[in-house]
Amino acid sequence: MAETTNKIVLVGFMGCGKSTVSRLLAKELGWRRIDTDDEIVEREGRSVAAIFEEAGEQGFRKIESNLIASILTEPEPAVIATGGGAVLAEANRQAMLAYSYVVALKADAEQIIARVQADTGRPLLAGDAANRVPLLLEQRKTVYDFAPTIIDTTSLTPEQVAAAILDGFKQQQ
């Protein structure tokens, strides 16, 4: 990472608190907040589920990668909440490390399932979070480990997570 950066990127599996924590961080820092899924939906004019259906996961990943590359090189400070699969592409991981302070959030499977169960907007869960989450977690066991900072959010409040991130961020500036 560059000596100083004005980007904080949150990565992690679905339901680990990226959106909530990014809101708190952006408010605290007075920075813009970008949720890559929301941004994709806005730019594409269709839902994540519709993109998966019409362009496949690969099509979604292409849009996601292009967006991440462009956000990271914008001059304005930003807190960026990424989708759970944004780290699957090596190029995305490299860009995040080069341009931002990257924090991975993780949580226990039970807690993730509880948080995402009612959600119908995540195509990879296919309406069956209880079975899909453990399978995907296993597939993605190590993909978030590239982040220099990893925080287990299972027994922390979003405020505690945000405070820990801010401490770490300020220390390395």
Q: By the criterion CB under 6 A, which residues form the site for ligand S3P?
A: 14, 18, 37, 48, 83-85, 122-124
Least separation, in Å, of the C-beta of 156 and ligand S3P? 18
| CB closer to ligand S3P out of 68 and 124 | 124
Tell me how far, at minimum, the Cβ of 64 lies from ligand S3P, in Å: 7
Residue 4 CB, nearest approach to ligand S3P (Å): 27
β-sheet bridge partners, residue 151: 105
Closer to ligand S3P by CB, 21 or 101: give it.
21
Q: How far apart are CA 84 and CA 16, in angstroms?
A: 9
Residue nearest ligand S3P by beta-carbon distance: 83
Pick between residue 21 and residue 100 the one whose CB is nearest to ligand S3P. 21
How far apart, in whole angstroms, are the C-alpha atoms of residue 24 and residue 45?
27
Query: Using the 8-state DSSP alphabet, how is residue 157 labeled?
Result: -
Residue 162: helix, strand or coil by DSSP? Answer: helix
CB closer to ligand S3P, 3 vs 65: 65
Question: In the bound complex, what is the minimum distance in angstroms from residue 83's beta carbon to ligand S3P?
Answer: 2
* Tokens 């001059």 found at: 75
DSSP state of 141: T
* Integer-rounded Cα radius of gyration of the chain: 15
Six token digits for residue 25: 């961080």
